[in-house]
């Protein structure tokens, strides 16, 4: 069995001075949860940051990233992954001292060697398995979101305990904290989003939608079938696994699922998934993404634009206008 932790030594985190860098999805949740758990937190934001007023309004102490790093002995890096290296090089590195701890919520920059901290600091990951607004809301409701903890470098000999203590501060030990490695977290996270959760899913939706529309069916029917209903199916799978979903659908649907599904996602698809995983493991994907960012993201922006221009988006926007309750659920 894997190591899953439910409690931790809170004394460790309450003895530290924490800097949370960034106040986006994860940043606001970590900073507020830690503060309410009694930790000593300051948020490091650039003077021109749009988030400054909301962080201050929430009662947090907001300083510059430089000052936050100077004051703190535990730095949690919650700026976007593609800007972490520049922030590390320009602000963090020169302000790290003996015994400090450098924390991340995703392993990308450490695992691929873009950030190489000195040997005298702890390097730890605490990665909630939920979007930031849920990390915050669940904590406020008295619960917590599960998280991963991993140690890349244990200078103090207490890095794991410190990570668990931080996880307790954001509420995650209430739900369970799974021990992993930077490598496993980074590679499975990238694979999941590329092959299944985001890439695999959106390509599946579009292929199904296009097949129906090209065969002469109404775009609106194709939208409801191939996109809208997905939510209902996913909810069932989430609640009770694939069996729970198959129990709820009709026998006709279940027979079609069992006999046709494997014709859509074939051995060939799985072989391609394996190649995608190879590119993640070899660092090919990471290099490609770093270079794309250095070049100003031309390919990324073009693909983004093309995606937004697909007819399924305008058809969907029109249909969703008749379902105003949907928009209210969209969080940050
Ligand atoms: P985000 O894009 O929501 O927010 C980033 C914040 O950093 C913004 O407030 C931005 O203004 C600020 N910022 C950008 N550059 C900065 C700089 N140079 N100095 C100071 N602040 C700066 O980011 P996020 O989604 O919260 O991601 C943060 C980390 O958490 C990433 O490592 C990500 O992989 C990880 N993570 C995110 C999620 C999620 O659900 N979004 C889940 C798990 C882990
Ligand atoms: Mg992820």
CA 134 to ligand 1 center in whole angstroms: 15
Instruction: Tell me the best of 22, 63, 128, 185 to mutate to test the pocket of ligand 1, counting ligand atoms within 8 Å of each CB and taking the most.
Output: 22
pLDDT in 10s for each residue of the chain, 332 residues: 688 888 887 788 899 999 999 999 999 999 999 999 999 999 999 999 999 999 999 999 999 999 999 999 999 999 999 999 999 999 999 999 999 999 999 999 999 999 999 999 999 999 999 999 999 999 999 999 999 999 999 999 999 999 999 999 999 999 999 999 999 999 999 999 999 999 999 999 999 999 999 999 999 999 999 999 999 999 999 999 999 999 999 999 999 999 999 999 999 999 999 999 999 999 999 999 999 999 999 999 999 999 999 999 999 999 999 887 776 554 33
Instruction: Tell me the best of 29, 56, 64, 80 to mutate to test the pocket of ligand 1, counting ligand atoms within 8 Å of each CB and taking the most.
Output: 80
148: enclosing H helix or E strand: strand 147-153
Does ligand 1 come within 6 angstroms of the Cβ of 81?
yes
pTM, to two decimals: 0.91
Instruction: Please report the sign of the dihedral spanned by the C-alpha atoms of residue 303, residue 309, residue 311, residue 316.
Output: positive
Query: Computed over its alpha carbons, how large is the radius of gyration of the chain?
Result: 22
Cα distance between residue 139 and residue 145, in whole Å: 8
pLDDT at 148: 97
Residues 118 and 112: beta-carbon distance below 8 Å: no
Does ligand 1 come within 6 angstroms of the Cβ of 117?
no
pLDDT at 329: 52
Nearest atom within ligand 1 for CA of residue 27: 26
- Residue of minimum CA distance from atom 18 in ligand 1: 87
3-state helix, strand, coil in the chain (%, to 5): 60, 10, 25
Does ligand 1 come within 6 angstroms of the Cβ of 80?
yes
Cα distance between residue 290 and residue 286, in whole Å: 6
pLDDT at 1: 66
> pLDDT per residue over 252-308, tens digit each?
999 999 999 999 999 999 999 999 999 999 999 999 999 999 999 999 999 999 999
- Residue of minimum CA distance from atom 38 in ligand 1: 131
Token reading at 149: 């903890």
Cα distance between residue 290 and residue 86, in whole Å: 12
Closest ligand to residue 125's CA: 1
pLDDT at 11: 83
pLDDT at 326: 78
């Amino acid at each position: 069995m894997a190591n899953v932790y439910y409690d931790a030594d809170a004394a460790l985190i309450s003895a530290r001075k924490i800097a949370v860098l960034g106040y986006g999805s994860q940043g606001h949740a970590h900073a507020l949860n830690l503060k309410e758990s009694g930790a000593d937190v300051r948020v490091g934001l650039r003077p021109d940051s749009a988030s400054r007023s909301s962080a201050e309004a929430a009662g947090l102490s907001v300083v510059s990233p430089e000052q936050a790093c100077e004051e703190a002995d535990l730095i949690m890096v919650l700026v976007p992954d593609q800007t972490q290296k520049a922030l590390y090089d320009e602000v963090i590195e020169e302000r790290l001292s003996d015994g400090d701890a450098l924390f991340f919520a995703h392993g990308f920059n450490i695992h691929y060697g873009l950030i190489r901290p000195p040997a005298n600091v702890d390097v730890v990951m605490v990665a909630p398995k939920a979007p930031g607004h849920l990390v915050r809301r669940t904590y406020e409701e008295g619960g917590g979101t599960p998280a991963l903890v991993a140690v890349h470098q244990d200078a103090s000999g207490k890095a794991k305990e410190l990570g668990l203590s931080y996880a307790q501060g954001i509420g995650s030990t209430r739900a369970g904290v799974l021990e992993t490695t930077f490598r496993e977290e980074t590679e499975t996270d990238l694979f999941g989003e590329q092959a299944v959760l985001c890439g695999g899913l959106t390509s599946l939706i579009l292929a199904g939608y296009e097949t129906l529309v090209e065969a002469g069916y109404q775009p609106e029917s194709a939208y409801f079938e191939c996109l809208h209903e997905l939510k209902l199916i996913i909810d069932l799978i989430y609640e009770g696994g694939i069996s729970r979903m198959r129990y709820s659908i009709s026998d006709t649907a279940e027979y079609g699922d069992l006999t046709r599904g494997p014709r859509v996602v074939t051995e060939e698809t799985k072989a391609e998934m394996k190649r995608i995983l190879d590119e993640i493991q070899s660092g090919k994907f990471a290099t490609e993404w770093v270079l794309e960012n250095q070049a100003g993201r031309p390919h990324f922006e073009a693909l983004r634009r093309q995606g937004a221009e697909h007819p399924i988006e305008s058809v969907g926007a029109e249909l969703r206008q008749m379902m105003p309750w949907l928009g209210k659920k969209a969080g940050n």
